[in-house]
């Protein structure tokens, strides 16, 4: 079966692990959006690899592709490649880079870091927005095709000249004399052209290669970066990324037939959000969260306070246990990730939003001012022991704690979508598949 895997929230849903798991049954794993602003963490054979642009299937020697709507930074691509090899994995599948994909040039990164958007929107500063702007301009964009074709040098020269004012305003070049602009363009050309020969063997057309593969019965997993709420059209604008993060976007951007795919959405058991933008169910504040350090732990007394209802501490505890620091539609099935992080922590689920006496169960376009309305039910289950976790992996859905199943049941009932996988730990093996779809489909009857 072919599937499209997307994130249900604002990214960081734990897609890396699930894509890695589902990739086992796919001949191809294809990235269809975003760029190296994503960070997919995979733990395999006891080794952790974080991939920013290379599709996760690569560590299982699957064929992988990067589609035409991905913003492609060759530097990150080769860094990912080297990280995979260094971690001891053999890359033996095909690698296909779409010739139409747009390059993230060094000046895009500089413009993102120095531009207004990075502060206002809290971007990842990977150059995504500026590269997308150039893509939309159709005059200042540079594709992978340009990089490997004979006119790359002239193109870089022309684009840098056209952008001189913008680059100067941002401090990338100073003074802006013709000589300086030429020297800057020459430097950019030298920096990027070293990748041209290296990527040449991988360049092709996804629309042709993937459709031919599908026609031959090869299976495919389309791997989304970010999450649906960061979609450029459907997301929480302006705090979104610059590409489509939804399943329809995957098919449209790759030029494949959506009807051939099942849509699997990854919903972390609790939503999180990085960057700027409203977050009605936020526990504590983003400013405080930014000051927290990796490895910090709540004391026993603080944990007790959180259990007794201190939401600020509860948020902190969830962030610590879930390592929530950021690694930088229509749905057929949910995959619920990181539900183990909520163990031992009592919580309620938001069931609606409220503003000025108005209440809605729809997701408001502009979230500002909307407050969450929590359901009456409080969910709670105890931390599972390692033995209980192994037993649940072996025996399936029924062996999960009752409180966890109550939460899953209510989520299924609210969305009318069943669950196919529940992830209870970062390792590939800590995954409940047995009976999950059957039992959760029964919740719909």
Residues catalogued as catalytic: 12, 40
Site for ligand IMP in 274-313 (CB under 6 A): 274-276
241 binds ligand IMP (CB under 6 A): yes
> Could you tell me the smallest distance in angstroms from the CB atom of residue 268 to ligand IMP?
11
Q: Return the number of the residue (7 or 418) whose C-beta is nearest ligand IMP.
A: 7
Considering only 12, 27, 141, 321, the residue that binds ligand IMP (CB under 6 A) is 12
234 binds ligand IMP (CB under 6 A): no
End-to-end CA distance of the chain: 25
> Could you tell me the smallest distance in angstroms from the CB atom of residue 39 to ligand IMP?
6
How far apart CA 111 and CA 306 sit, in angstroms, is: 42
Q: Return the number of the residue (278 or 435) whose C-beta is nearest ligand IMP.
A: 278
How far apart CA 27 and CA 24 sit, in angstroms, is: 8
Binding residues for ligand IMP, total number by CB under 6 A: 23
123 binds ligand IMP (CB under 6 A): yes
Considering only 239, 261, 347, 353, the residue that binds ligand IMP (CB under 6 A) is 239
CA 4 from centre of chain: 13
10 binds ligand IMP (CB under 6 A): yes
**Under a CB-based contact definition with an 8 Å cutoff, are residues 204 and 100 in contact?**
no
Query: What are residue 384's phi and psi, to 5 degrees?
Result: -85, 140
126 binds ligand IMP (CB under 6 A): yes
How far apart CA 316 and CA 322 sit, in angstroms, is: 10
Tokens, residue 437: 């779809």
Site for ligand IMP in 169-228 (CB under 6 A): 225-226
Residue nearest to ligand IMP (CB): 275
Q: What angle do CA 429, 431, 434 make, to 5 degrees?
A: 115
> Could you tell me the smallest distance in angstroms from the CB atom of residue 114 to ligand IMP?
14
Tokens, residue 401: 């704690």
Query: CB neighbours of 413 closer than 8 A, spacing ≥ 6?
Result: 443, 444
Local structure of 53: helix, strand or coil: coil
Contacting positions for ligand IMP (CB under 6 A): 10-12, 37-39, 121-124, 126, 128-129, 225-226, 230, 239, 241-242, 274-276, 326
């Amino acid at each position: 079966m072919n599937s499209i895997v997307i994130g249900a929230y604002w990214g960081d849903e734990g897609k890396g692990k699930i894509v890695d798991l589902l990739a086992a049954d796919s001949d191809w794993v294809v990235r269809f959006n975003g760029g190296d602003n994503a960070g997919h963490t995979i733990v395999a054979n006891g080794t952790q690899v974080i991939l920013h642009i290379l599709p996760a299937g690569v560590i299982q020697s699957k064929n992988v592709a990067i589609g035409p709507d991905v913003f492609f930074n060759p530097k990150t691509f080769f860094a990912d490649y080297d990280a995979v090899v260094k971690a001891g994995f053999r890359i033996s599948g095909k690698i296909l880079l779409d010739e139409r994909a747009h390059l993230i040039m060094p000046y895009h990164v500089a413009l993102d870091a120095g531009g207004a958007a990075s502060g206002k929107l809290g971007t990842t500063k990977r150059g995504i927005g500026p590269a997308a702007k150039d893509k939309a301009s159709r005059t200042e964009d540079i594709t992978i095709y340009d990089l490997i074709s004979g006119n790359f040098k002239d193109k870089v020269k022309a684009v840098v000249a056209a952008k001189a004012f913008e680059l100067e305003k941002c401090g990338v070049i100073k003074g802006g004399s013709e000589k300086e602009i030429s020297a800057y363009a020459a430097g950019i050309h030298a920096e990027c052209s070293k990748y041209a020969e290296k990527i040449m063997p991988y360049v092709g057309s996804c629309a042709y290669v993937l459709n031919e593969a599908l026609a031959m019965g090869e299976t495919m997993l389309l791997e989304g970066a970010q999450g649906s709420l960061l979609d450029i059209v459907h997301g929480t604008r302006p705090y979104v990324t610059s590409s489509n993060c939804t399943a329809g976007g995957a098919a449209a951007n790759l030029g494949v037939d959506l009807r051939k795919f099942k849509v699997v959405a990854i919903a972390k058991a609790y939503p999180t959000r990085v960057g700027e933008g409203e977050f009605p169910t936020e526990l504590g504040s983003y400013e405080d969260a930014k000051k927290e350090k990796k490895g910090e732990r709540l004391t026993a007394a603080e944990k007790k306070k959180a259990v007794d209802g201190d939401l600020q501490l509860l948020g902190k505890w969830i962030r610590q246990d879930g390592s929530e620091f950021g690694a930088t539609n229509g749905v057929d099935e949910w995959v619920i990730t990181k539900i183990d992080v909520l163990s031992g922590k009592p919580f309620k689920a938001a069931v609606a939003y409220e503003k000025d006496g108005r209440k809605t169960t729809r997701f408001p376009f502009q979230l500002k001012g909307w407050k969450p309305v929590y359901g009456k039910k409080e969910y709670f289950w105890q931390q599972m022991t390692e033995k209980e976790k192994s037993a649940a992996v072996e025996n399936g859905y029924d062996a999960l704690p009752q409180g966890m199943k109550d939460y899953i049941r209510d989520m299924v009932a609210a969305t009318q979508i069943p669950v196919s996988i529940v992830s209870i730990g970062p390792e590939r093996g800590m995954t409940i598949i047995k009976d999950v779809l059957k039992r959760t489909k029964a919740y719909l009857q």
